[in-house]
């Protein structure tokens, strides 16, 4: 015996309640959201491509390698500033550098200083060929009590400002 087919009726769902809930949620999130406060200082970042070449004079370079070692260098065009920097460091740290060691600092072929002050005298005592191939431990910057990079930067600022 065949089953009697039930006639299908169209389904009609009242969406009024669903729209009310959606608008209530929307208005809640809009009113409860904190908008981004205005910036105290706007920073305009430079473009990533530049047609100008950076000058080779009046440059102090601080380099960090992947191991966290820090190196300090001054551009080769600033021989008088290099002399002032090494004189300032020599007198402030009482290193007792000779004139030949100071000259090695000015004429350093690698251009980088990456040794603590305790090893600076023996580092600058080497020949230019040995300086090129020397393995440098880096300038100590571990904490505020042993931040020798600060002394190098102070000496550089003083040299470039003529103090």
Task: Pick from 55-64, 87-96, 107-116, 131-140 the range whose average pLDDT is largest.
Answer: 87-96
More confident: 43 or 51: 51
Would you tell me how many other CB atoms lie within 10 Å of the CB of residue 58?
11
* Confidence bin at 43 (pLDDT 50/70/90): low
8 A C-beta contact, residue 61 and residue 79? no
Q: So what's the pLDDT on residue 55?
A: 73
pLDDT, tens digit, for every residue of 76-122?
Answer: 888 888 899 999 999 998 989 999 888 888 887 777 888 998 888 88
Mean pLDDT along residues 53-78: 83
CA distance 94 to 91: 5
CA-to-CA distance for 43 and 54, rounded, in angstroms?
A: 21
Identify the pLDDT of residue 9: 78
Residue-level pLDDT at 133:
75
- Burial of residue 1 (CB within 10 Å: 0-12, 13-18, 19+) is exposed
- 39: confidence class by pLDDT, cuts 50, 70, 90: low
Q: For residue 104, what pLDDT is reported?
A: 86
**Spacing of C-alpha 49 from chain mean position:** 19
pTM of the predicted model, to two decimals? Answer: 0.64
Examine the pLDDT at 144 and tell me if it is beyond 60: yes
Boundaries of every domain in the chain: 60-161
């Amino acid at each position: 015996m065949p089953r009697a087919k039930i006639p299908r009726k169209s389904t009609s769902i009242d969406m009024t309640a669903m729209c009310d809930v959606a608008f209530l949620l929307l208005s809640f999130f809009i009113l409860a959201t904190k908008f981004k406060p205005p910036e105290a200082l706007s920073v305009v970042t430079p473009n990533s491509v530049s047609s100008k070449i950076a000058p080779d004079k009046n440059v102090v370079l601080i380099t960090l390698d992947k191991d966290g070692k820090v190196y300090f260098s001054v551009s080769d065009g600033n021989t008088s500033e290099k002399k002032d920097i090494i004189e300032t460091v020599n007198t402030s740290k009482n290193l007792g550098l000779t004139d030949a060691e100071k000259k090695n600092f000015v004429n350093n072929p690698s251009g980088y200083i990456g040794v603590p002050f305790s090893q600076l005298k023996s580092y600058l005592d080497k020949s230019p060929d040995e300086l090129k191939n020397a393995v440098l431990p880096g300038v100590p910057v571990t904490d505020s009590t042993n931040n020798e990079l600060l002394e190098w930067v102070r000496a550089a600022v003083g040299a470039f400002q003529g103090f």
